[in-house]
Amino acid sequence: MKRFTALFLIFFSLTFNIIGLKSVFAITNTFTQGIYKSSDLIPSKSNVYSFSNISLTDGVYLIILDENQVINHAIRLQPNSGKHITVPILTNYRIVILGKGELYFTPIET
């Protein structure tokens, strides 16, 4: 009976851990604080994106760096901001997000 109980508890805990996992191929448009590569965004033919802060209470900073870590675009967004447009983000660019807000990126096709 002890063996059955132990196996049941292990199986039960593994089941709840698996449910919370996201697929490796799941691409999202929402980004929080961190450093991202341009490949983390949904691909855009024009490499231009619109973005907005969808957090209702927290502001956020967005910084776009080129391959030499030179700032190409920097902006502070207030909570629940309107849409803004990025500079073209090439494949080796980095995106830095600072703050507790959440940025929502949408590719712009021209």
Q: What mean pLDDT value characterizes the chain? A: 84
pLDDT band at 10 (very low <50, low <70, confident <90, very high): confident
Torsion angle, alpha carbons of 53, 56, 61, 62, to 10: -10
Question: Looking at residues 42-51, what average pLDDT do you find?
Answer: 88
Domain assignment present for residue 91? The answer is yes
Interatomic CA distance for residues 16 and 32, integer angstroms: 25
Burial of 77 (0-12, 13-18, 19+ CB in 10 A): buried
Domain that holds residue 101: 29-108
pLDDT tens digits, residue range 21-42?
Answer: 555 555 578 999 999 998 888 8
Confidence of residue 12 (pLDDT cuts 50, 70, 90): low
pLDDT tens across 85-110, in order?
988 898 899 999 999 989 999 998 76
Strands (E) in the chain, as ranges, are 30-31, 34-37, 48-53, 60-65, 71-77, 84-85, 94-99, 103-108
Check the CA dihedral 24-26-32-35 and report its sign: positive
CATH at residue 37: 2.60.120
Is residue 39 in some structural domain? yes
pTM of the model: 0.71
Q: Is residue 62 part of a domain?
A: yes
How many structural domains comprise the chain?
1
